[in-house]
A = this chain, B = another copy of it.
Amino acid sequence: MQQPTPLGDMDNESFRRSAHRLVDWIARYLDGGADSYPVLSRVRPGEIQASLPAAAPAHGRPMPEILDDFERLLMPGLTHWNHPGFMAYFNSSASGPGVLAELLTAALNQQAMLWRTSPAATELEAVALGWLRDLLGLPPAFDGVIFDGGSSSNLHALLAARQAAVAEVRTRGLLARGDLPPVRVYCSEHAHSSVDKAAIVLGLGQEALRKIPADDRYRMRTDALAEAIGDDEAAGVLPIAVVATVGTTSSGSIDPVPAVADLCGARRIWLHVDASWAGPAAMLPEEAAIFDGVERADSVVVNPHKWLFTPLDLSAFYCRRMEVLEAALALTPEYLATKEAGAARNLMDTGIALGRRFRALKLWMVMSSFGADGLRARIREHIRLTDGFASQLRADPDFELLAPVSLALVCFRAVPSGCPAGMPAAELDELNAALLERVNAGGEVYLSHTRLGGRYTLRLVVGHLRTSEMHVRSAHELLRRGLDELLEVRSGTWRAPARPSD
């Protein structure tokens, strides 16, 4: 006989049992369990989807079965971002304190659109962002707000810049404005793709974004920036913002912020600094120089989910002119009007999103658990490990660095010492792409790539809490071995000489 369909939440005892089971599973996963999986998933496109039913189950299923399905069907489709061998893109750890915070965040389900809908989430956001701001050495004039990611933060920065330059844009928009000159935003050719997306979204268009050439160390050239701004001004174009990057995605290069700030300051152009990845390194006295000039920016973004051990997603957006963002976005329909509106900050006023998770909790728990010295020690260790990897490559005649080592990022490629002189660039690119694929297929590490100066470039980033000397040594060995194998395969065409160490 059919049981009546239950109401209410899942049975509490089942919840408790499954939650304890999950905690044990996760504790093992975080304590080395992740390491037994290949970092990069080996499934083929469509395989996961094909393994799952096409329709929702008609009746509810017991949680243990669902968790079994997760392990059996979904685990093979995970690429293990929380694996010490994940050295691709910019990685971070979902640290223990961060995971605990997310568990609590989910259960409490705070929605901090208004102060009154979560005074704790609203005020802890100010507190945690204040702690981080001080550790980064930014002045208290920077007010903070949490967004989901760097793309959002960059979008909000340019939204504020647009508002600062053209106050009526909020009501009148940009279209069919005979009275407005075209506007321009500037960033280096190495700025993050989200700056392009922001220009598109805001209705400026990609053509309104001028990509300034970089120098031979991939830093924005301020002479070219000055020239571009000057040319535009002479042509009646209105410069509204410059995005400088502290730690570009490809090479980790650091734009010359003080010189850019001089240019912007003289012309009252909004200066936004994208330090999404590299920012946390400014906590170290020996690296604090990466933030030189940043104190003069109008806005800055630093992503704790990138290099501060905070699970996705948490981007810290700092702004010295938060009232501009508020002027762009704040609007209060009657159903959101509260008596505290004047006395307390309502976080909905400075963001596109109305609904807001209690993200501050994880930042607070991570910072509290590790402490300022613990955060510094861990970031310092990542930089030390990265230097070690770079030294190994420098000592290896078959590899070359393609950019100065920046913090925890190394850009390099294989250039086999035995390969024919004048080997075509395309063949070298192909060799490196094949090497990357071979190393990643091994499952022990995951590296990614970019292109620098036209050359196919491998990237290794250290950002995981459990990445150790062993992992970076292993990365080098795997690259070596992969290269040897590739050269062997290609020996029909040309062949590297045997090395004594082989």
Contacts and interface: CB of A to CB of B under 8 A. Distances in A.
A96 interface: yes
A16 B76 CA distance: 25
Q: Ordered nearest first, which 10 A-B pairs have the shortest CB separation?
A: A203-B203, A173-B205, A77-B120, A102-B106, A94-B109, A60-B371, A45-B344, A56-B131, A15-B96, A48-B123
A95 B336 CA distance: 25
A450 B335 contact: yes
Given A106-B311, A108-B81, A9 B95 contact: yes
A126 to B, nearest CB: 6
B172 A174 contact: no
A449 interface: yes
A77 B107 contact: no
Given A66-B365, A205-B169, A106 B103 contact: yes
A426 interface: no
B108 A334 contact: no
Contacts of A376: 5
A10 interface: yes
Contact of A103 (B19, B60, B95, B374): B19
A268 interface: no
Q: What band does the interface of chain A fall in when counting residues whose beta carbon is under 8 Å from B?
A: 35 or more
A377 to B, nearest CB: 4
Interface in A342-380: 343-344, 352-357, 361, 365, 367-374, 376-378
A499 interface: no
Contacts of A328: 200
19 contacts: A8-B378, A41-B119, A46-B123, A70-B104, A79-B110, A89-B117, A103-B106, A149-B355, A159-B201, A169-B203, A170-B205, A173-B204, A174-B205, A175-B183, A194-B354, A200-B329, A312-B357, A334-B451, A335-B449
B205 A352 contact: no
Contacts of A459: 335
Nearest to A16: B27
Given A82-B109, A95-B9, A205-B171, A193 B336 contact: yes
A381 interface: yes
